Structure 1
Amino acid sequence: FLESPRYASGYTALFNTIGFITEAHMLKPYQDRVESTRAFLDIITDYMQGHSQELIDHKTRAQEYDRNLEHLSLQWELDSSKVQEMEFMGYRASYIPSKVTTGDRLKYNRNAPVDISINYYNSYRTTDSVEIPEYYLVSAAWYEVPQLLQYNGIQMRRLKRDTVITVESPNVSSFRFLSSPYEGHFPLLDLAIEKRTQERIFRAGDYIVPTDQENVRFVVSVLEPTAADSYLRWNFYDEIFQQKEHFSAYVFEDTAERLLEADPSLKEKFTEWLEMDPEREKSPYQQLSYIYQQTQAYEKEHLRYPVARILK
């Protein structure tokens, strides 16, 4: 399966550490499951003891390789063009009438073992990647994120004073959350980001996270907003999706008219925006909202990702 960072083996891979997820099948007796899991742990422990220096050397080389990466994959999809055959030892299966429900049930005949040749898909291709920046700037206001970075051994330092910095600033242009809870969260399913180069004020105490460190894969995988399991996707920055300040249409209508008359470039942008989607002409409120978002009254933090990038 696609072992993204949410899974134990995907998480360890971010640190160039080999991870295993064992499965003791529920159809086997409990004692057999316990003993097979223990046997696996014994074998792994013995191997690590006998090959410790080799494992350390491989990890060191992998970390050095990562420090020189210029791009990193963020999303993947199954590559069905790459397939290999695998011999699978199973039991003959059939569907028989259920004694509980009104349908049929799956039944394995454990007296009829069978060897089956199946297709095994174990290759994925990149669908989204990113150029690794030189630094990430992380707001201290969302304190859980710096804490998690520290827990994972990420090197960073704090700004000593308020500073204006020119950065690449990601802004959310569209999004959709999962409609039902998953692992105690409502993760972001769909997410589109618009990157803007702009000056932003960073406050004393905010964090500078360099990417020139051995665990750069972890840094990029949690701080890049569109990464498969970024902190943004897992609800650590949900406040940015709520717009706190709004306008009253009957009051703002006159203001919007004056703004368009006084600023030809704004009027041109508004006209272009309107023509991009015929549906927008059906919503006067949406039109006023677009104009409002171009004013200083609109809160800059709305849909602005609190993590910025400084490119190399």
Structure 2
Amino acid sequence: MLWSNKPQTYKVPLTAQSEPDLIVKRPKAYVIPVQWQTVIKRLKAHGVKMTTFKQPTTLDVVVYRMKDIRLGSGFEPDRVGGAKLPGYEGRLLIKGTPVPEMRRVTYPAGSVEVPTDQRLGTLAMNLLEPRSPDSFLQWGFFNSMMTIGEEPEIYVMEPMARAMLAQDPKLAAAFKAKLKSDKAFANDPHARLMWFFEHTPYIDKNRYLYPVGVIPAKSTS
């Protein structure tokens, strides 16, 4: 084909994508804490409807803790420049496995509830569902939450771990089973100490936590 700088008309086949990459159950709504204004403003710019809480509101929601967090790759690897900077279009993309858990959360005034029963409900899901490749999460808008506040010093955690094993037979049994089933864990001293740290009251409860809550749809059964 030669460039002619003149309009051309072509007939091309239209191929539907009949097999989706990701299927999730449509929730009733998403809840975004007030401090994430960058995300809230972008949703408003798209025309997504939402309700703003006028006072602190307590809800039972599903939250997601991310596991196996890693850097995501750009969408056009052939355009990677010589600088080799990670990310894409100025964003530091991430990947990970979201693990759900139920929580009762009190959202401060100014937080928003985004219902999915609206004209742009599917768009809201694409942007707020953590497994979506187009989600704000994977585009790096919540990277500040993908860290842990503190890690224990080895000289503190090692004697504490020994004491925990001696005082709690159930914990000792769980640790032995973990060593047997997970060879990578068994060969990683840091992972072993972090395992004990996660069983103390000192662990950061919000570590690796995606802050957008999900209100599940009511069961019809």
Residues 270 and 202 (structure 1), Cα distance of their counterparts in 2 relative to 1, 3 Å cut: farther
Residues 130 and 257 (structure 1), Cα distance of their counterparts in 2 relative to 1, 3 Å cut: same
User: Matches of 2:56 and 2:167 in 1, distance apart?
Assistant: 34
- C-alpha displacement of 1:310: 1.1
- C-alpha displacement of 1:299: 1.4
| Residue 144 (1) aligns with residue 12 (2) | no
Aligned to 2:93: 187
Mapping of 1:152-301 within 5 angstroms?
152-178=46-72, 180-188=86-94, 190-301=95-206
Larger Rg: 1
Aligned to 1:102: none
More strand by share: 1
Query: Normalised by the size of structure 1, how large is the TM-score?
Result: 0.58
SS in 2 for 1:250: helix
CA deviation vs aligned residue, 1:156-199 (integer Å, no higher than 9, x gap): 122333344321111111232136332222323x4211111222
- C-alpha displacement of 1:126: 2.1
User: Matches of 2:167 and 2:55 in 1, distance apart?
Assistant: 38
| Residue 29 (1) aligns with residue 21 (2) | no
Residues 121 and 269 (structure 1), Cα distance of their counterparts in 2 relative to 1, 3 Å cut: farther
SS in 2 for 1:306: strand
Percent same amino acid at aligned positions?
Answer: 25
User: Cα RMSD over matched residues?
Assistant: 2.6
- C-alpha displacement of 1:212: 1.7
Query: Normalised by the size of structure 2, how large is the TM-score?
Result: 0.80
Residues 262 and 165 (structure 1), Cα distance of their counterparts in 2 relative to 1, 3 Å cut: farther
Higher relative contact order (CA 8 A, sep 6+): 2
Residues 246 and 127 (structure 1), Cα distance of their counterparts in 2 relative to 1, 3 Å cut: same
Structure 2, unpaired ranges of 5+: 74-85
- C-alpha displacement of 1:272: 3.3
Amino acid at match of 1:29: S
- Aligned pair count? 204
Aligned to 1:7: none
User: Matches of 1:284 and 1:274 in 2, distance apart?
Assistant: 11
